[in-house]
Structure 1
Amino acid sequence: MNASPPPAGSEPGSRPVSAADASSGAAAKPGPRVTVIVLTRNHVRQIVDTVARLTALPEHPHVIVADNGSSDSTVSLLASLFPQVRIVQTLGDHGVAGFNRAFALARTDYVACCDDSTWFAPGALAQAVQRLDDHPNVAVLNARVVGEDEREIHPACLMLNATSPGGEGLPGPALAGFMAGACIFRTSVLRALGGYEERLSHGGAEELAALDVLSAGHAIVYCEAALAHREPLCRWFTRAQHCALARNSAWVAWMRLPLRDALAATGHALVVFARQQSLGPAGFALLRGAFWALRRRRVAPAHVVLLTRQVRRAERHVRAGIPAMAEKYDQSGQRAW
């Protein structure tokens, strides 16, 4: 495991300043502006392919692999094939919270996040950097995720774009959430956030992070130019996963939203539990965690609550009007990615 920050000037891809450069006053060649962190667990074929694509990008980003306790040959093969790539290992599956230890290693202005089946297109990171440079109020860009041939847009992106309330003065549609596996973060905001909440790591962590980012006065934006490709995957959620997503969303509501919204999220969770024939066990887990959530209660500002309500109303409208897209979105993870 390599989790200690690199000494100054030792980041992969950077060039140390020579004595001749220093004495002559020559400027050092600027290093990468963005670090890409890839989350993986037991997907050795996909992660090798994805890292090969990322290390070949013209932006020459730093690449860090956050391994969520893989038991296959992921770590040894990556270390052999890509010695310039840093690998951060955890002992188990921490979900999106597996990003956290890798976040601490980033020494660039921006951090791009993806999973082992997603990679950024050539030039996409440069486009993202330009937009973040030009709009200091924007903290997160959600990438446009497409299939390998760019003909099919990921249903979660369609839903995010369709439910945006607008984007005046922003480099794209304003969002109330983002996809943890396809986004570009401003590193300073990410550090202030402290990463993802471990207890919500398998659903709801990015929902809580989005509320905290918006509450701090930043914006989240959907960026068409930040193009990412995704290998087609079919994800079918288990009964336990459906229940966990609904439970965690209710916990987030109790932590950050007014009573009205928290009660609505709790009611929705109970409906999901009943539909999944797990009302007793899942309901008990929801109640037990509610005390944990209430101890962390800090209601978001009124403008953030208004934005989340606007987005939820738009989501209901989309689900009613385009049920096929809504069904694909549900199978994709309801922003859990």
Structure 2
Amino acid sequence: MDEHDLSVVIVTWNVRGLLPACLESLQADLKESDLESEVIVVDNGSSDGTVELVAERFPFVQLIALGENRGFAAANNIGFARSHGRAILLLNPDTEVLPGAITWLWRALHAAPHVGLVGACLLNSDGSLQSAGYRFPGYVQNLLDFFPIHPRLIGSRLNGRFGPGDGLTPFAVDHPLGACMMVRREVVEKVGGLDEGYFYYSEEIDWCRRIRAAGWTILTAPAALVVHHAGGSTRQISEASFLQLHRSRARYFCRWHGRTFVRRLAWLAELAAGWAALRARLTGRADLAVRARLLRQAAAIYRHTPCCDESV
């Protein structure tokens, strides 16, 4: 087996329009980093020509075409198994790696032996801050998610979000957003890969919780700047992805917080659905009626998650 410094694993699903910018920016920054690297694209059954694009335009990529959508966690784990790097970079296809980001992530990961995973500082398409890391979610984050809040609160510490610090010094977080994070192979070998019970969403939060529980530190490298055109892999299925988000959250909260916590989330979702329905009637807004319907479905997901079933 030829060992590399770094393996990059990118999971794709119908992202033909976004992937070239990702791969081109990645290739340029890997070249500047001087790291021995490999790039692996695992395709989840794309039907838009993503596989053909990679095969034709990016010969440096190792392409694994699964032929079906196995989910984000399972596809990443397949990429891990194929990889040879001493570290692995999980990168979303709807990202663009800015110059120097790979080097900053690598340096932060190897700054101390207890550092197990490092996330990038993610920017929106307009260059504004999107994410510099999070605290593990709890009641407050769910409350702010279920009910309309002032936009300023979305990116606040109250909502479990970190700012970029001084822009240079890495700092500890509970977890980064999964769009760009570098992990030691040793961590994967000791903790295991992503939980494939999560089809999409929350898998990186669960993984980081397991990594933290095993004694590793998780950092954000704020100088590692990556543009994340958020939702590029999921915007085709907005209602379906909303419900999948809550299925994944239910799994996460059952595992880490237990039955009572998830029952309370069901109650909160029902309350939020009632509030949205009332506002829909008062204003005539169709979007609020849709939100009320989806929140009722989310409440049912939390209520019927196995850990909430008395027979379990």
Q: Which of 47, 72, 76 does residue 48 from structure 2 map onto?
A: 72
Say if 2:112 is the partner of 1:96: no
- Percent identity over the alignment? 23
Deviates more, 1:63-72 or 1:286-295: 286-295
Supply the AA of the counterpart residue of 2:12. T
Count of residue pairs the alignment pairs up:
264
RMSD: 3.5
Alpha-carbon distance in 2 for matches of 1:106, 1:130: 20
Are the counterparts in 2 of residues 255 and 293 from structure 1 also a CA contact under 8 Å? no
Against the structure 1 CA distance between its residues 113 and 294, is the aligned structure 2 distance closer, same or farther, given a 3 Å change threshold?
A: farther
- Residue 120 of structure 2 aligns to a residue whose secondary structure is strand
Q: Which of 87, 90, 97 does residue 120 from structure 1 map onto?
A: 97
Q: Which of 91, 106, 129 does residue 153 from structure 1 map onto?
A: 129
Partner of 1:302: none
Partner of 1:311: none
Deviates more, 1:182-191 or 1:257-266: 257-266
Partner of 1:63: 39
Deviations 1:93-117 (A, max 9, x none): 2332121200112211211111112
Say if 2:305 is the partner of 1:289: yes
Deviates more, 1:267-276 or 1:34-43: 267-276
- Residue 305 of structure 2 aligns to a residue whose secondary structure is helix
**What's the TM-score once normalised by structure 2's chain length?**
0.71
Are the counterparts in 2 of residues 127 and 225 from structure 1 also a CA contact under 8 Å? yes
How far did residue 259 of structure 1 move? 5.7
Say if 2:191 is the partner of 1:197: no
Against the structure 1 CA distance between its residues 143 and 89, is the aligned structure 2 distance closer, same or farther, given a 3 Å change threshold?
A: same
Structure 2 gaps of 5+ residues are 134-154, 277-291
Partner of 1:46: 18
Alpha-carbon distance in 2 for matches of 1:238, 1:101: 26
Against the structure 1 CA distance between its residues 138 and 273, is the aligned structure 2 distance closer, same or farther, given a 3 Å change threshold?
A: farther
Against the structure 1 CA distance between its residues 94 and 178, is the aligned structure 2 distance closer, same or farther, given a 3 Å change threshold?
A: farther
Deviates more, 1:198-207 or 1:258-267: 258-267
Are the counterparts in 1 of residues 95 and 226 from structure 2 also a CA contact under 8 Å? yes
Against the structure 1 CA distance between its residues 283 and 232, is the aligned structure 2 distance closer, same or farther, given a 3 Å change threshold?
A: closer
Alpha-carbon distance in 2 for matches of 1:273, 1:213: 35
**What's the TM-score once normalised by structure 1's chain length?**
0.66
Against the structure 1 CA distance between its residues 291 and 89, is the aligned structure 2 distance closer, same or farther, given a 3 Å change threshold?
A: farther
How far did residue 86 of structure 1 move? 0.4
How far did residue 212 of structure 1 move? 1.0
How far did residue 91 of structure 1 move? 2.8
Partner of 2:183: 185
Partner of 1:87: 63
More strand by share: 2
Are the counterparts in 2 of residues 34 and 110 from structure 1 also a CA contact under 8 Å? yes
